[in-house]
C-alpha cells in the first residue's frame, strides 16, 4: 500500500501493526472530501492485500481532537447534488473501515464529534484519553448521522441511550462513553497510544487467521439469529483446523514455548 496520502499519515509499528493518523490538525482533523477518498482507498486496499498486517490503529493528529466530523467550511455553499456526491464517498469510506479484515482499534485522543464519533463506533473497539469527548451533533445542523452512527452506536450502547445521544446532540465524556459501552478503556492522554499499541501487539501475536475468523464470527453473528450465528461460528472454526498455525499453536503449547504464527 502507498503511504503518501494527503490527509492521513500511515506507518507500521512492529511490522504487523498499522498506525493510521487523521492528519489535518489545523482543522481538528475534520473530514473533507480528500480524507474520505484517502481513508476509503487505504481500507479497501487492506481488504485486497494485508501485506502481513495483523492489527490496525486509527487516531488523530495533535492533542485537541480525534476528528471533529465533516469539514463544514468545505461544505458551506455546496449544492444538494455536490453534498450527496460527497456523502457517497463518506458512505463508502465507513463501509471500508467496517470491512477491515484485521482488528481495528480506535485511539481517541480528543474530540470525536459527528463523523469522528462514527469512525470510532465503526472500529472494533475504542480506547480513549481522559480528555476525549464524544457527540453526534448532526441534528443540530438539520441533518442526521449518515456514516453508520445510528446503527453502530445503537449496537454499542443500546437503542434507548443511542436515541438520547443522537436526538439531543449533546456531548458526553470518555468516562460516560465507557460506562455506556462505546469505549473499552479510558487512560491518561500521555498513555493512550502506548496502551493501544500494547493491545494491538498482543492481538498481533496471536494466530492471525484465527483472529480474523473470530472477528468475522462475532460481527456477522450479531446480525443473525442465535442458531444462524452458531452455524456461522462453526464454519469459521472449521477453516482453522487444517492451518499450519493451528498445528503450531498446539505444538508450541506442548513444547512449552511461544508459538510462531505465520498466517498459514
Query: Which whole number is the average pLDDT over 135-152?
Result: 95
pLDDT of residue 78: 87
Q: Among candidates 141, 103, 143, which has minimal Cα distance to 122?
A: 103
What CATH code would you report for 208-254? 1.10.12.10
Q: Among candidates 146, 142, 100, 143, which has minimal Cα distance to 123?
A: 100
Q: Residue 19: pLDDT band by 50, 70, 90 thresholds?
A: very high
Q: Residue 98: pLDDT band by 50, 70, 90 thresholds?
A: very high
Query: Which whole number is the average pLDDT over 191-220?
Result: 96
User: For a pLDDT cut of 70, what percent of the chain falls above it?
Assistant: 100
pLDDT of residue 40: 96
Q: Residue 1: pLDDT band by 50, 70, 90 thresholds?
A: confident
End-to-end CA distance of the chain: give it in Å, rounded. 21
Cell numbers found for residue 228: 444462524
Catalytic residues: 118, 138
pLDDT of residue 75: 85
The CA distance from 110 to 243, in Å, is: 41
Q: Report DSSP letters for 179-213, one per residue.
A: HHTS-SEEE-GGGHHHHHHHHHHHHHTS-HHHHHH
Contacts made by residues 39-45, CB under 8 angstroms, sequence distance 24+: 39/8, 39/93, 39/96, 39/97, 40/89, 40/92, 40/93, 40/96, 41/5, 42/1, 42/5, 42/8, 42/10, 42/96, 43/93, 43/96, 43/97, 43/99, 43/100, 44/96, 45/1
Cell numbers found for residue 157: 450502547
Q: Residue 38: pLDDT band by 50, 70, 90 thresholds?
A: very high
User: For a pLDDT cut of 90, what percent of the chain falls above it?
Assistant: 90
The CA distance from 82 to 103, in Å, is: 33
pLDDT of residue 14: 85
pLDDT of residue 191: 97
- Kindly list the domain boundaries of the chain, sorted by start residue: 8-204, 208-254
Which pTM value belongs to this model? 0.93
Under a CB-based contact definition with an 8 Å cutoff, are residues 148 and 114 in contact? no
Under a CB-based contact definition with an 8 Å cutoff, are residues 148 and 100 in contact? no
Look at domain 8-204 and name its CATH class.
alpha beta
Q: Residue 3: pLDDT band by 50, 70, 90 thresholds?
A: confident
Amino acid at each position: 500500500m502507498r503511504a503518501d496520502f494527503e490527509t492521513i499519515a500511515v506507518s507500521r509499528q512492529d511490522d504487523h501493526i498499522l498506525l493510521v493518523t487523521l492528519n489535518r490538525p489545523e482543522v481538528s482533523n475534520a473530514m473533507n472530501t480528500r480524507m474520505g477518498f484517502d481513508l476509503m482507498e487505504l481500507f479497501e486496499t487492506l481488504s485486497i492485500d494485508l501485506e502481513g498486517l495483523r492489527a490496525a490503529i486509527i487516531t488523530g493528529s495533535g492533542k485537541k481532537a480525534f476528528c471533529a466530523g465533516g469539514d463544514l467550511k468545505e461544505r458551506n455553499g455546496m449544492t444538494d447534488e455536490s453534498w450527496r456526491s460527497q456523502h457517497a464517498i463518506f458512505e463508502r469510506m465507513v463501509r471500508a473501515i467496517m470491512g477491515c479484515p484485521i482488528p481495528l482499534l480506535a485511539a481517541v485522543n480528543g474530540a470525536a464529534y459527528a463523523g469522528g464519533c462514527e469512525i470510532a463506533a465503526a472500529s472494533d473497539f475504542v480506547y480513549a484519553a481522559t480528555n476525549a469527548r464524544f457527540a453526534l451533533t448532526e441534528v443540530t445542523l438539520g441533518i442526521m448521522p449518515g456514516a453508520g452512527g445510528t446503527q453502530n452506536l445503537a449496537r454499542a450502547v443500546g437503542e434507548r441511550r443511542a436515541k438520547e445521544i443522537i436526538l439531543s446532540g449533546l456531548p458526553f465524556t470518555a468516562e460516560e462513553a465507557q460506562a455506556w459501552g462505546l469505549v473499552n478503556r479510558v487512560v491518561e492522554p500521555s498513555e493512550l497510544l502506548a496502551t493501544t499499541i500494547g493491545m494491538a501487539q498482543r492481538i498481533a501475536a496471536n494466530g492471525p487467521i484465527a483472529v480474523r475468523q473470530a472477528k468475522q464470527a462475532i460481527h456477522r453473528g450479531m446480525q443473525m439469529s442465535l442458531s444462524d450465528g452458531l452455524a456461522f461460528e462453526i464454519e469459521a472454526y472449521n477453516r482453522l483446523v487444517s492451518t499450519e498455525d493451528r498445528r503450531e499453536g498446539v505444538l508450541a503449547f506442548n513444547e512449552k514455548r511461544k508459538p510462531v504464527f505465520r498466517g498459514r
